[in-house]
Amino acid sequence: MELEKNLYTIQNYYIVDEKMFDSIINNINYNYLLILFTMTCVCGLVCSIKKPNKDYLLIQNAEPLKGEIINKV
């Protein structure tokens, strides 16, 4: 029974060379970047939808104010 269990766990191991290992790690890193990009896009869309539509109010017939420079403080 113990021998069969050890053989079963040994059969689940794979031997890979360095090139294949690097390829697997690079694919995992690309997946992390894809997840980060997707989350950024979704958060950007959610934040832009919740933004109020009327940020600015147009004032009709507005005249600019004149400013003065005060040298004495």
Phi, psi of 3 (to 5 degrees): -65, -40
User: How confident is the model over 1-32, as pLDDT tens digits?
Assistant: 565 666 566 666 778 899 999 999 999 989 99
> With 90 as the cut, is the pLDDT of residue 36 above it?
yes
Between these two residues, 43 and 67, which has the higher pLDDT value? 43
pTM for this predicted structure? 0.46
User: How confident is the model over 39-60, as pLDDT tens digits?
Assistant: 999 998 888 776 666 667 777 8
* pLDDT number for residue 57: 74
The Cα–Cα gap between 5 and 63 comes to 88
Round to the nearest angstrom and report the end-to-end CA distance of the chain: 94
Rg (CA), the chain: 32
